[in-house]
Amino acid sequence: MTLTRKAADQVFFLLLLLVVTVAFYDLIDDFFKAIFWAAVLALMFRPVHQQLVKVMPNRTALNALLTTLAVIIAVLIPVSLIAIAVAQEAANLARDLEAGNIDTESTLLWLEQRIPFLPGLIDRFQIDLARIQEALSAAAIAAGRWVAGNAVAIGQNTLQFFLQLFVMLYLLFFFIKDGKSILMAIARVVPLDMDLQQNLRTRFANVARATLKGTFLISAIQGLIGGLSFWALGIRAPILWGVVMALFALIPAVGPAIVWLPAAIVLLASGQVAKGVVLIVIGAVVIGLVDNLLRPVLVGRDARLPDYIILLTTLGGIAVFGLSGVLIGPIIAALFFTVWTSLEDRQQPEPAAGEGTT
């Protein structure tokens, strides 16, 4: 059976489309993260741009430029300063641990004295406290070196870093300025009904924005409170530990307690009972309640993805995409649920004529 000329043209065109698409993706593959972050920031700062459009309706380029400047001031500058401070504190902490300037033995001794059944468990299971202490110190040193080493790596690849940053900001400006026309151009070539495309875009934007606010904004607030608490109580490296708490807050099954609770135990073990109690109160009451109090205000209960989905997609995203996967994973999950929810709606039977009328 031979193909007709029209069918042969169609097959050739599809093959050509596939080849040029793969080639184009190969060209921009190195800038995937820059494109992704530009799209995410454009989505998150869309309300800011809309407010500017209301004030200056005929200044499209100026509105996009001002929104881009808002991203730089509100996001990029603070993140850069925090990253520098975290690298410095991590390097100093690793150096002090390696030099033996931080006492970890007293904490283990305090736990033995305060928990009656702990010595029995240690003897029964033949736990070597000295080895545990060495392992904890080695892990802390390795973590500090990793953070400091990555900061050095960024410094060594300054040209590549600033190239990615320039591409991200350049694309961000045009995503903000021409975002609507870009979406319409894509819509014209996607073989889906326009109403369905609009429904998909609206749902995805709502779920993605709600997930980002519910995950990252609240985690950042928890990390900020934790870091300020550490600073006020005189705990070393408060910026580093605040960032670590924010990162653990992204994982629903873990949370920032994995940082502040051991710190409170160390304070109690070192005789600083008042500071330890204060940290426990702040961690359990303030940091612990931030999620419950702010999430309904910032997000609402319906739009955000379930916690177990965020946990799975966050860990999976990190495994596939590295640190950026913390955000890419939940975004892919939001798109997944948006598409499947729309499929479910399309399969619902349409109401019969006259149904629901009296």
Helix count and strand count (H, E) for the chain = 17, 0
Residue 279 burial by Cβ neighbours in a 10 Å radius (0-12, 13-18, 19+):
buried
- For the ranges 29-43, 202-216, 247-261, 342-356, which has the lowest average pLDDT? 342-356
209 with 59: CB under 8 angstroms? no
- Total residue length of the chain: 358
Please write down the HEC assignment for all residues of 1-43: CCCCHHHHHHHHHHHHHHHHHHHHHHHHHHHHHHHHHHHHHHH
pLDDT in tens, 4-59: 777 777 888 888 888 998 898 888 888 888 888 888 888 888 888 989 988 888 88
Both structure tokens of 18: 């596939």
Supply the pLDDT for residue 43. 82
Share of the chain above pLDDT 70, in %: 72
Residue 273 burial by Cβ neighbours in a 10 Å radius (0-12, 13-18, 19+):
exposed
pLDDT in tens, 70-93: 999 988 888 888 888 887 777 777
Query: Based on C-alpha coordinates, what's the Rg of the chain?
Result: 26
Other beta carbons within 10 angstroms of residue 238's beta carbon come to: 19
Nearest to 311 by CA among 262, 250, 233: 250
| Chain mean pLDDT for the chain | 76
144 with 243: CB under 8 angstroms? no
Supply the pLDDT for residue 70. 93
- For residues 160 and 338, what is the distance between their CA atoms, to the nearest angstrom? 35
Distance, C-alpha 7 to centroid of its chain: 47
User: For residue 110, is pLDDT > 60?
Assistant: no
- pLDDT confidence bin for 358, thresholds 50/70/90: very low
| b/e burial code for range 34-63 (CB count within 10 A of at least 16 → b) | bbbbbbbbbbbbbebbeebeeeeeeeeeeb
pLDDT in tens, 150-170: 555 555 556 777 888 899 999
266 with 107: CB under 8 angstroms? yes
Domain ranges of the chain: 29-189, 195-345
